[in-house]
Chain A
């Protein structure tokens, strides 16, 4: 297989939170009087959206949208007592929009269907189908000015709010409150996605994967990011979108300024020429 990089589509945009956003950090540090359910923060103490959260969520949504969530198309990534615990989609199909865009994992994999039928199943080698991942989802940094001082005054923490939630016993009405931290609605993050355009054995991608990715962005707008989405958290929208194309020959020049091939205020207005 010969793979040559033809160019890169670079999508720059802002991610705006429409409702509070909670991307958890995992509770490995508990402070007395601290919040039990913190959000991820960077070295400067500001919340951000990890590239892995964006990529993982979009991948999952794409799998459903492309009809890939079926026992025979899911591979087992974590097994417990020889039972499938966690499965995601991965396949060898050449034009698979999910695998082509979000990447495949090397090594041997066994499908969920096979594992259920035969707990000792060895799995198939996927190495032949593996090519470098086309999508790079960068961390999205908080745009500080999107949380103005008058909002910060009302926040419980420097950049985030604390939301109280409650379980109530149905008979005794005993309350069991918990608190979780979230980024307030209206905050903006500057995001960047890169989609590599490859030529694989003389077959050019053109903008096939770019279009598929725009679909994934739309899917995300109608779903949620982070945790507790079914309770209202995590609605986001993409605004101020700019798409650039960087040809592989551009790398031989000292950096010049790129011109966008498409710009739009929102995803609905975006048109590719």
Chain B
């Protein structure tokens, strides 16, 4: 990667979090926020701190293609170990056959969704065992380490409207995700323009106080932020394959052609800003996290402003946050 500064931003949640899956479904919660959700949270916080004009200037930089900063999607950390999505198309069976992954059933392999950052960049040097959707080193079990390995759990809370005059009530359910201690989410923050560094960090700190996701004013989603420098050097700057840690909306046909393994997600939702609330934005299709590309691609910021909405433009952050996959990573058919 470039010489620019990269931080690991650790979000230590002090409250449960609700990240909506689909409009008007309150009883389903996602656990991770995609890069576009995270970005719009940061931009909103930025605008709260510095006002509309300055935010417009910042956005212009993104649209010109000189993004002042970039973020990845949020990823889990459990017991202070950082995880990343598994590259799509990783040939688990081959790893199993070579004795690197120790799994009793084929099914266990399918469930693996996250691997440790360290393991991925070092090309899986030791022996591993799947635990739920995480792949962790075998010696974690042998070390008499009785600490349970869990990110957290989903809970549902009953909520109610009460009529002011008759006291009749209407109950509904709202689900949220509670993280275990020493577990939470983290993401990469890449600063391309030093001038904005302090302001962006301020916006992220404010986002922590305001909260991420839904139902923030009832205390959900708030977290404490820690900016860490301990990012591993992304070795092999030139690599055969790159994996995306963010959602990506490809810029042109060439970018689409360079995709090797992919998953397509649909991003939709409502506008949340000071000027517009509750208006549906346009829907856009994107490549999900873990998508593998054969070239370095850029992605783009998509204008999703709905028709008849004139207060401001609405964007979906679809720039690529790529990391090179190390030599020797075994993908299907490669």
Contacts and interface: CB of A to CB of B under 8 A. Distances in A.
Contacts of A132: 48, 274
B159 A52 contact: yes
A179 interface: no
A28 B156 contact: yes
Contacts of A78: 161, 170
A251 B49 contact: yes
A4 B219 contact: no
Interface in A147-195: 192, 194
A42 B13 CA distance: 14
Interface in B234-281: 274-279
Contact of A106 (B210, B220, B278): B278
Contacts of B158: 24-26, 28, 40
Given A4-B49, A24-B158, A26-B158, A87 B165 contact: yes
B182 to A, nearest CB: 14
Interface in B17-61: 48-52
Given A51-B218, A136-B216, A2 B199 contact: no
Interface in A36-69: 40, 42-43, 50-52, 55-56, 60, 63-64, 69
A273 interface: no
Interface size class of B (residues with CB under 8 A): 35 or more
A149 B153 CA distance: 28
Contacts of B209: 8, 194, 246
Interface stretch (B117-125, B200-208, B318-326): B200-208
A51 B218 CA distance: 5
A60 B162 contact: yes
Interface string A2-14: 1111001000000
B307 interface: no
B146 interface: no
A4 B48 contact: yes
Contact of A42 (B155, B171, B201, B277): B155
Given A127-B277, A136-B211, A137-B219, A43 B178 contact: yes
Contact of B218 (A26, A69, A137): A137
B198 interface: yes
Contact of B51 (A4, A51, A88): A4
Contacts of B277: 106, 127, 130
A77 interface: yes
A51 B206 contact: no
Nearest to A43: B178
A81 interface: no
Contacts of A246: 209
B164 A40 contact: no
Contacts of B16: 43, 139
B90 interface: no
A5 B170 contact: no
A255 B205 CA distance: 9
A136 B217 contact: yes
A55 B218 contact: yes
Interface string B187-225: 000000000001101110110011100011111101000
Nearest to A42: B178
Given A1-B275, A127-B276, A133 B217 contact: yes
Interface of B: 15-16, 48-52, 152-153, 155-165, 168-171, 173-174, 178, 180, 198-199, 201-203, 205-206, 209-211, 215-220, 222, 274-279
List the 5 closest A-B pairs by CB distance, nearest first: A51-B219, A26-B158, A106-B278, A138-B219, A106-B277
